[in-house]
Amino acid sequence: MSGAGRFQTIYAVIARIPRGRVATYGQVARLAGIPGRARLVGFAMAALPDGTRVPWHRVVNAQGRCSPRGDGGPGHMVQRLLLRRENVRFDRGERIALERYRWKPRGAGS
């Protein structure tokens, strides 16, 4: 994408995550063509406007948890609720079984 919008590529990847599935920051970065820049994905997420159509809640960290926002906001709580609404189960430690819910892109995705 344009030099000014590297985020667009990231958002495009996230938009492809099917309902009821989750992807990790590193996974998104990799699919966006910027392997190792997981933090940049997080930065792009924080830059998302309120009411965005991008399913940001389907992106979790490698531990299968909803990373709390630096702002200390209820972001991770909302995320948990939205995922719960998509039949995604959380274990006792507020963690998701990635081996079960991880999104596996196919065909033109990989």
Please, which residue, 18 or 68, has the CB nearer to DNA?
Answer: 68
Residues 32-61 that bind DNA (CB under 7 A): 36-43, 45-46, 48, 56-57, 59, 61
Residue in the structure block whose two tokens are 């190792």: 36
Distance, first Cα to last Cα, the chain: 18
Looking at residue 90, the DSSP 8-state letter turns out to be: B
DSSP E strands, the chain: 23-24, 59-60
Torsion sign over Cα 17, 25, 55, 14: negative
Contact segment (CB under 7 A) with DNA among 10-18, 30-38, 80-88, 101-109 equals: 30-38
Contact segment (CB under 7 A) with DNA among 13-21, 72-80, 83-91, 102-110 equals: 72-80
- Binding DNA (rule: CB under 7 A), the pick from 16, 21, 67, 86 is 67
